[in-house]
């Protein structure tokens, strides 16, 4: 069994991006600039956004954090999105989700100029991914593809089971794994809450990508000997012995599953750090107009 070290790969990629940025600056170019809008004080969102701002610093990007209280109106938020769309200094921006109930997330996502949508959530980017055109790729699936690439994990002709059908992870992940490319060229099955025999589907899989948000859902008896396991789960489970009061729990019963695998990602330190690095990559692509 080989542990996939997302933290180490992410650190390497951040250095690669920083070197690229310095080259751009040396040639008289502009420093990439990412903006993030954070509404309210959700603990998870606060952490994610703080990590994104820190990653910008590590990559040599400029970052702008725009904060609002929970009571911001949809109109006010739409006006800010419009302002960022038209700010030529901002190369890309994100609106951290979830948003308060009174704001329509889809409306906000669609208001973002798809050429600045470094999250890859806009229907134009999601649609272009589905038909294999260049686009901003959703960060978590793109980070997973990078891990598969850097660990030379064979995907061509392999049976890949994706657990979860979210717009952010499951659907784009399935698209990327079935794409005519390497990594890719896999035979993909997407499982969800109405799948009849998830355990049976998993037992057939060469690669399992678990993105359900259900702690320890994937058990050892659901995994084929030699399978590749990618764990996207990051549920916060209360834990009094931890300084933060919780620990992150993956969708995979790591302790019992790991001995059966050829490769497995840990939680934390697997997929998580790659997600942020993918956002940095998209921002660099936006700043250098490599997609649009």
Residues annotated catalytic, as ranges: 52, 96, 119
283 binds ligand GUN (CB under 6 A): no
State which residue, 81 or 228, has the beta carbon closest to ligand GUN: 81
Q: Which CB sits closer to ligand GUN, 121 or 263?
A: 121
Minimum CB distance to ligand GUN smaller for 78 or for 97: 97
Nearer to ligand GUN, 139 or 252 (CB): 139
Number of residues lying near ligand GUN (CB under 6 A)? 6
Closer by beta carbon to ligand GUN, 185 or else 215 = 215
Q: With contact defined as beta carbons under 8 Å apart, do 95 and 118 qualify?
A: no
Q: Out of 90, 94, 118, 284, point to the residue binding ligand GUN (CB under 6 A).
A: 94
CB of 248 to ligand GUN, least distance (A): 14
Tell me how far, at minimum, the Cβ of 232 lies from ligand GUN, in Å: 11
Q: Would you call 20 helix, strand, or coil by DSSP?
A: helix
Q: Which of 178, 147, 127 lies closest to 278, judged by CA?
A: 147
97 is a contact residue toward ligand GUN (CB under 6 A): yes
**What CA–CA distance (Å, rounded) separates 16 from 14?**
5
CA 10 to chain centre: 12
Q: Select the residue interacting with ligand GUN from 55, 95, 144, 173 (CB under 6 A).
A: 95
**Interface with ligand GUN by CB under 6 A: which range of 77-85, 91-99, 177-185, 231-239?**
91-99
Count CB-CB contacts under 10 A for residue 191. 23
**Residue span binding ligand GUN (CB under 6 A) among the ranges 94-102, 213-221, 265-273, 284-292:** 94-102
**Complex with ligand GUN: residue 168 or 202, whichever CB lies closer:** 168
Collapse the DSSP code of 146 into the 3-class scheme (helix H, G, I; strand E, B; otherwise coil) and give the result.
helix
Task: Tell me how far, at minimum, the Cβ of 138 lies from ligand GUN, in Å.
Answer: 7
222 binds ligand GUN (CB under 6 A): no
Query: Strand 62-68 and strand 33-39: pairing?
Result: parallel
Residue sitting closest to ligand GUN (CB) = 97
Span from 95-103, 189-197, 233-241, 247-255 in contact with ligand GUN (CB under 6 A): 95-103
Distance (Å, whole) CA 131 – CA 42: 35
Question: Of 5, 91, 117, 119, which lies in the binding site for ligand GUN, with binding defined by CB under 6 A?
Answer: 119
In whole angstroms, what is the distance from residue 56 CA to residue 50 CA? 10
- Dihedral angle over CA of 141, 258, 152, 281, nearest 10: 30
Across 7-41, b (16+ Cβ under 10 Å) vs e yields eebbeebbeebbebbeebeeeeeebbbbbbbbbbe
CA distances from 138 to 73, 93, 216, 254 (A): 27, 13, 24, 25
Binding site for ligand GUN (CB under 6 A): 94-97, 119, 139
């Amino acid at each position: 069994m080989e542990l996939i070290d997302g933290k180490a790969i992410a650190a390497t990629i951040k250095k690669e991006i920083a070197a690229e940025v310095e080259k751009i600056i040396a040639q008289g170019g502009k420093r990439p600039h990412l903006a993030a809008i954070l509404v309210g004080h959700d603990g998870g969102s606060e952490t994610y956004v703080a990590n994104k701002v820190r990653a910008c610093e590590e990559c040599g990007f400029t970052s702008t954090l725009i904060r609002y209280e929970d009571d911001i109106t949809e109109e006010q938020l739409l006006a800010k999105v419009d302002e960022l769309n038209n700010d030529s200094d901002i190369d890309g921006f994100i609106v951290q989700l979830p948003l308060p109930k009174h704001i329509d997330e889809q409306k906000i996502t669609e208001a973002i100029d798809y050429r600045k949508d470094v999250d890859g959530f806009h229907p134009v980017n999601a649609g272009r991914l589905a038909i294999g055109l260049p686009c901003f790729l959703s960060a978590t699936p793109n980070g997973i593809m990078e891990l598969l690439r850097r660990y030379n994990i064979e995907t061509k002709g392999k049976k890949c089971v994706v657990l979860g059908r979210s717009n952010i992870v499951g659907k784009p992940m399935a698209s990327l794994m079935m794409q005519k490319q390497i990594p890719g060229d896999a035979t993909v099955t997407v499982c969800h809450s109405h799948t009849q025999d998830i355990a049976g589907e998993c037992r057939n899989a060469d690669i399992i990508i678990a993105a359900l948000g259900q702690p320890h859902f994937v058990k050892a008896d659901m995994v084929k000997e030699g399978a590749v396991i990618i764990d996207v789960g990051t549920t916060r489970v209360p834990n009094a012995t931890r300084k933060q009061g919780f620990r992150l729990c993956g969708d995979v019963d790591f302790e019992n599953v790991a001995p059966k695998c050829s490769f497995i990602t840990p939680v934390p330190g697997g997929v998580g750090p790659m997600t942020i690095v993918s956002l940095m990559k998209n921002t660099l692509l936006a700043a250098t107009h490599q997609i649009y």
